[in-house]
Structure 1
Amino acid sequence: MAKRQSWWLWAAAALAYVFLYLPLVIVVVYSFNDSKLNAEWVGFTLDWYHKLFNNREMLVAARNSMVIGVVSALAATFFGALAGIAMHRYKLRLLPFLVLTPIAIPEILMGVSLLIFFVLLNVTLGMTSIILAHVAFCIGFVAIVVRARMQGMDNSLVEAARDLGATPWQAFRLVTLPQIMPGILAGGLMAFTLSIDDFVITFFTAGVGSSTLPLQIYSMIKIAVTPEVNAISTLLMVLTLCLIVLVSKVSPGALRAE
């Protein structure tokens, strides 16, 4: 009976992984397809990557996405880490509500509200408005990860450091920060991934001429899903995997579930 249940569990897990990863494999494979229609496999080619790197609009959109992703991830990581530490140390009912509400409400509502907010403040829509919107959206995700890391931390080490004469800042810098650093790195990676991948909030807060990769891809697939779209999607997947590997090397515990 146990073997039969084990077989069903393995089968269900295999189907789940096929459902998750088979579309990604198809995107990668068809980015090398020598056909404009993507209806069937014709032959291997690198022409779509060559056209991609000579597409000025796509390169500008990629540059914008990278700048927005890096800046918003750094800012969201800093403020999100502070918010996660504060939520762990200070049991204030209002603080979690303020920090976590932006990730709980629908993205379209978040985008519309930010658009109205920028219009009321007479903020010109563009790169700055997108970065501010992404920071507001990503802070909550970083805070959740950091707070979870704080809850698994051994507080007796901090108390021991204070008993030995360390100041509050020294105890935080030498004891607390190294322990929560994996959570901070994981939160920063999540913020960057969410920022570079976001479409809905960016759509509402982007001004004229402030195109990002998701917006550019959306404008391209209105006609058809060409192998050029598959090529840029493949490069985005490679970038994400490289970041995951980098974080796992720098801090092996960053992506490990506690």
Structure 2
Amino acid sequence: MAKGKKLYLGLVVLFMYAPIAVLIAQSFNASRYRGHWTGFTWDWYIALFANKDIVNAFLNTLSIGVLSASLATLLALVTALGLRRMGSHGRIFFRGLANIPLLNADIVTGISLMLLFLGLGLRLGYDTILMAHVVINLPYAMLCILPQVLSMDRVCYEAALDLGATPLQAFRKVILPELRPGIMAAFLLSFAMSADDFIVTYFTKGAGIETLTTEIYAEIKLGIHPEMYALSTLFFVAVIVLVTLLLFNYRMIRRYRKAEKREAGV
């Protein structure tokens, strides 16, 4: 029975990752033709980094991802602290509102944001992509931070105030260290969502600016070049790194909570 479970699990993993393994192998294939191995090469990676359009798209993706993740995390932190002071009924209502964008179709969000920006007289470009990514990242950041804020003990904060700390000092030295794991998780998840987004970016980007997802789409319309295999491989490696960081952050949260329980004598 145990062997059957392991075999089934192995087949599921093989089904999910075999196509990615083929893609990675193809990115090192000296042949331009799929399915015909002629030798190992780094040429497609060299050609990828020599492509100015892809490099510019990568820089746009990186800067938009970092900025939108930072802004979404900051807004989620402020909102979560505000919700903590609300009554239970108001908190449930606003948590429901925050969860609606998670269920909404990306194409609806993208079109509605595009119409909003055009209605406000904004020119579609870098700024509109950034604002759109903050909007789509905010609910995910809230999911990471709000549970920690609601479970936070206010006694330590009030004790810091009684000992002479200013509200800002108490927030910086008491509240932030306790919320640091959730803040890190919110930032990493928001960055991953921003880097992976295509539909919302496509409707809000305007002409003359591309991110990696929209650049890949534009390149594929002209035909699949081996550089796209290399780019997809790097994308996959970046996702693995982000997932590893999230798992590490999760373990840090567990260790932090266990340490708190030991100090409390639980």
Question: Which category describes the TM-score, using the shorter chain as reference length?
Answer: 0.7 to 0.9
> What is the letter of the counterpart of residue 61 of structure 2?
S
Distance 2:179 2:8 in 1: 35
Q: Indicate the residue corresponding to 2:264 in structure 1.
A: none
Please state how far the C-alpha of 1:248 moved relative to its aligned partner: 6.5
Q: After superposition, where does 1:32-181 map in structure 2 within 5 Å?
A: 32-90=28-86, 91=88, 92=90, 93-158=92-157, 160-161=159-160, 164=163, 166-181=165-180
Give the total of aligned pairs. 253
Seen in structure 2, the aligned counterparts of structure 1 residues 159 and 77 have a Cα distance that, compared at 3 Å, is same
Deviates more, 1:212-221 or 1:97-106: 97-106
Change (3 A) 1:255 1:120: farther
TM-score by length of 2: 0.83
TM-score (normalised: structure 1): 0.86
Q: Supply the AA of the counterpart residue of 2:25.
A: V
Report the alpha carbon displacement of residue 195 of structure 1 after superposing the two structures with TM. Answer: 0.6
Amino acid corresponding to residue 189 of structure 2 in structure 1: M
Q: 1:101-140: CA deviations, max 9, x gaps? A: 2222110000000011011001000000000000011011
Tell me the secondary structure at the aligned position of residue 124 of structure 1.
coil
**Structure 2: tracts of 5 or more residues without a match:** 258-266
Q: What's the CA shift for 1:238?
A: 2.8
Cα distance in 2 for partners of 1:84, 1:40 equals: 54
**Greater helix proportion:** 2
* Deviation (angstroms), 1:50: 1.1
Offset of residue 57 of structure 1: 1.2
Deviation (angstroms), 1:196: 1.1
Q: 1:49 to 1:253 in 2, by over 3 A?
A: same
Query: Are the equivalent residues in 1 in contact too, given 2:117–2:124 (CA < 8 A)?
Result: yes
Q: 1:136 to 1:161 in 2, by over 3 A?
A: same
| Bigger mean CA offset, 40-49 vs 148-157 | 148-157
**2: CA distance, partners of 1:185 / 1:87:** 20
- Once residues 132 and 29 of structure 2 are traced to their aligned partners in structure 1, the CA distance between those partners, rounded to angstroms, is 37
Instruction: Give the superposition deviation at 1:10.
Output: 2.9
Instruction: Kindly indicate whether residue 22 of structure 2 is the aligned counterpart of residue 22 of structure 1.
Output: no
8 A Cα contact 1:248 1:254, kept in partner: no
**Cα deviation digits, residues 122-166 of structure 1 (max 9, x gap):** 100000000000001101100111112334545554455456555
The one-letter amino acid paired with 2:236 is M
Query: 1:44-103: CA deviations, max 9, x gaps?
Result: 111101111111111111111111111111111111222233334423244224433222
5+ residue gaps, structure 1: none
| 8 Å CA contact 1:186, 1:255 repeated in 2 | no
Identity fraction in percent:
36
Q: In the alignment, which residue of structure 2 is the partner of 1:229?
A: 228
CA distance in 1, matches of 2:33, 2:5: 38
Cα distance in 1 between the residues matched to 2:150 and 2:36: 52
Aligned partners of 2:181 and 2:249 also within 8 Å: no
